[in-house]
Structures are given as structure tokens and as C-alpha cells.
Amino acid sequence: MTRRVALAYSGGLDTSVAIPWLAAEASAEVVAVTVDVGQGGEDMETIRARALACGAVEAVVIDARERFVEEYCLPTLQARALYMDQYPLVSAISRPLIAQVLTEVAQSLGAGTVAHGCTGKGNDQVRFEVSIGALAPDLKCIAPVRDSGWTRERAIQFAEDNGLPIDVTRGSPYSVDQNVWGRAIETGSLEDIWLAPDADVFQYTCDPAADLGVDEIVIEFARGVPVSLDGRSMSLLSIVEELNRRAGVRGVGRIDMVEDRLVGIKSREVYEAPAATVLMAALRELENVTTDRDTARFKKLVSDRWADLVYDGLWFSPLKTALDSFIAESQKWVTGEVRLSMHAGFALTTGRRSDHSLYDFNLATYDNGDSFDQSSARGFVELWGLSSRLAARRRPVV
């Protein structure tokens, strides 16, 4: 029996060229697997037809948008995970899901091999292969672009020689990866890290300088899960899609940074993540109101470690799973509403309320009704500063 290879197929040049290449070099029947994580752009049926025209024996498209949002974006939101304090892990969280779906399809088809189109310079090869290994340690994995050292020119030549139906003139100068959680843009003019991004880099966000006035929103959370927008109960996917539109129009969620890749390279990355930015800001404020200080401080440590693990391809790993339990527990009382006003690239919190609020008006107020016992503060401050006074007496500051 001819061996079967399940290929993670995006519809682009590299994965299209990989189909006839795998068929010839690996003497395999190629099954193209396209996972819809809300990348938009081309219609999924067009992508499927292209895979077949390139020689795939079968091409499947799997709508994984709900699963992506519920099982990948939501934990990222609840962790408030930002790699290097900025990047909301847009691509880093889609790779383990694509690997998971690819593995499931491979197993259902009896394919013992999977393939992906990543190069050797990025993080995504690591995320795919480490995830596949963690889910199905016996599956073999091929990376034709990386392992046979293709250049873009060679890929184009191969496509022309083999009459593949790919319009290479459509190619953008940037390398783009996008899904419902955001959009990642690299290469082209962005490789000069002093140059400001051209306007054509952006698609999810409008120019923050365009004065469109304020858009005010109220987001409701139940145990850390966004459940309604402006009083309308909605699925998480719909909330993310609507926030991408509304915050995107006001230029919210642009990030321009030099990032440390796992493979040791520093690279310039531009991201657009309107919904992720707004949801993280709202959740942070609700946590400020509902979470005690020790838990909040410890969560920051957990979030940073969680972000590093996920960035580094360790979504399916024992430590990540253990940290997930902490994060889930931390969300137990994160229920309530946050109001934000979106304008000129910012989403500013203007109000918050919660039945589980730890904010006590009578303790906080400086007006009548103050229930705080100021007399107990004196002794507290005395003891709090004791060790500092002691040290200063023994070792006077010079």
C-alpha cells in the first residue's frame, strides 16, 4: 500500500509545492489538511480545490474556529499571557491546534506520516513538531521546505515546471499569519527595524490617528469567560469577532517589536490583535477588583512562565498543564462587568462592577462613613519598618 502523508496545507506557495514534492520524493499519497482558525482571506473551498489541483488525493477543510477560541484563545486570555510583555501569542497558539487536528486526521486515515511547510528559521517548526510528538509520539514528521533547503525562487520554479495553479505574482512582500486572535506580519521592509511600517502592513486595524470619536463598550465576564458585549449574550467567537471589528477601526491592538525567537534570532514583528488587547485590558481590571493581592502577584509569575512555554512550543507539556490548573482556579471569582472607551489606538477602562468585588467603599472612602480603623495603622507601620530601622542603626547608610 502506498504510504499516506497528511500535510498541513495553507494554500500558499510552499505547502502547494510540497504536495507534488512529497508525492515524488516520499512516494506518498498526500492528504491536504486545512485548518480554519479564522484566517479569512481566501475562501476555504478555493484552497481545497487548489490542493487537489496540485495532486493531493484528498483535501479536507476543518472549521476549527470555535475550538480555537474556546480551547486556545480563552486560556491565553485568562492567563493574560504576553510574550516579552507584549505579544499575545497569535501564531504560537494556533500551531498546537493545527498539529492536534492534523494528528487526528492522520490517525483517522491511517497515515503514519505528517508534514508541514515551515522553514528552519522560525518558531513554528518547533511548535508543530513538539506538539505532534507530544500527541502521537510514533507519527513521523517531514518538513520539506526546511529539510531540502528550498528558496522562494526554487519553489516558484518548481511550481512553474510542474504547472501548479499558483499565482505567485499575488505574493505580498510580507510573511503574514493570521487568525481570529490576531495577525502577525514579518519580513519585507520591516526587516529594517528603524523604518516605520507602511500602511499596507495593516489589515485588522485602521490608523489610530484617524479621529473617529469614542466607541464605548461593556464586557461582561463569568469566571473569567467573556459572556456578553453591551448587554447582549454572545458566543466567545462572536465577541472576539465583534471586538476585532470595533477595536480595529479605532486602531486598538497594534504592536511593533523586536522579538527573541526560540532559535536565537532577533526579529522585527508587527502584530494586530484588537480583540485580544481589549479583552486582556478588561480582564486585568476585573481581576484588580476581584482578586487578592497575593494571588494577583503570583499569577503574574505564572503568566510569564506560561507565555514562555507556549511561545517555545510546549503547549502540550506537564508544566503548562499544571499552570493551567492555577490559572483556572484564579478565575473562580472573576465575574462582573468592565466598561472601556476605545479611541485613537487606546482602550481605556472607565468603570467596573462585580458581585464578588473586594473593593469596599466604606474602607476606601475619605468621606463620612469611613469604617477603617486608623488607630491600628500605627502599630502596623511600626512593625513593617522595624527591620529597616534595625539595619540602619547597625549599618548606617553612608
Q: What residues are labeled active site?
A: 14, 95, 124, 175
Region from 60-68, 175-183, 334-342, 370-378 binding ligand ARG, contact rule CB under 6 A: 175-183
Number of residues that bind ligand ARG (CB under 6 A): 11
Contact residue for ligand ARG among 184, 252, 279, 280 (CB under 6 A): 184
- At 295, the amino acid letter reads T
Indicate whether 341 belongs to the interface with ligand ARG (CB under 6 A): no
Region from 42-50, 173-181, 276-284, 291-299 binding ligand ARG, contact rule CB under 6 A: 173-181
Sheet holding 58-63, edge to edge: 58-63, 28-36, 3-8, 113-115, 140-142
Of the pair 123, 331, the CB lying nearest ligand ARG is at: 123
Indicate whether 175 belongs to the interface with ligand ARG (CB under 6 A): yes
Of the pair 126, 139, the CB lying nearest ligand ARG is at: 126
Indicate whether 272 belongs to the interface with ligand ARG (CB under 6 A): no
Region from 36-44, 155-163, 174-182, 352-360 binding ligand ARG, contact rule CB under 6 A: 174-182
Indicate whether 119 belongs to the interface with ligand ARG (CB under 6 A): no
Of the pair 13, 334, the CB lying nearest ligand ARG is at: 13
Of the pair 34, 91, the CB lying nearest ligand ARG is at: 91
CA angle 144, 147, 149 (to 5 degrees): 95
Indicate whether 91 belongs to the interface with ligand ARG (CB under 6 A): yes
Of the pair 112, 197, the CB lying nearest ligand ARG is at: 197
Of the pair 92, 136, the CB lying nearest ligand ARG is at: 92
Q: Which string of x and - marks every residue 220-239 that binds ligand ARG (by CB under 6 A)?
A: --------------------
Rounded Cα gap, residues 329 and 299, in angstroms: 10
Residue 342 in grid coordinates:
476605545
Indicate whether 186 belongs to the interface with ligand ARG (CB under 6 A): yes
Q: What is the smallest separation between the CB atom of 315 and ligand ARG, expressed in angstroms?
A: 12
Residue 164 in grid coordinates:
501548479
Residue 294 in grid coordinates:
497575593
Of the pair 178, 331, the CB lying nearest ligand ARG is at: 178
235: closest CA among 38, 33, 34, 10? 38
Q: β-strands 254-260, 175-179: how paired?
A: unpaired
Residues 6+ apart with CB under 8 A from 365: none
Tell me what percent of the chain is helix, strand and coil, each rounded to the nearest 5.
45, 20, 35
Indicate whether 92 belongs to the interface with ligand ARG (CB under 6 A): yes
Rounded Cα gap, residues 78 and 70, in angstroms: 11
101: closest CA among 20, 37, 179, 52? 37
Handedness of CA 63, 321, 182, 92 (dihedral sign): negative
Indicate whether 177 belongs to the interface with ligand ARG (CB under 6 A): yes
Indicate whether 129 belongs to the interface with ligand ARG (CB under 6 A): no
Question: E strands within the chain?
Answer: 3-8, 28-36, 58-63, 113-115, 140-142, 175-179, 182-186, 215-222, 225-229, 232-233, 254-260, 266-272, 336-343, 346-353
Q: What is the smallest separation between the CB atom of 302 and ligand ARG, expressed in angstroms?
A: 20
Rounded Cα gap, residues 47 and 39, in angstroms: 12
Indicate whether 252 belongs to the interface with ligand ARG (CB under 6 A): no
- Binding footprint of ligand ARG on the chain (CB under 6 A): 91-92, 123-124, 175-177, 184, 186, 259, 269
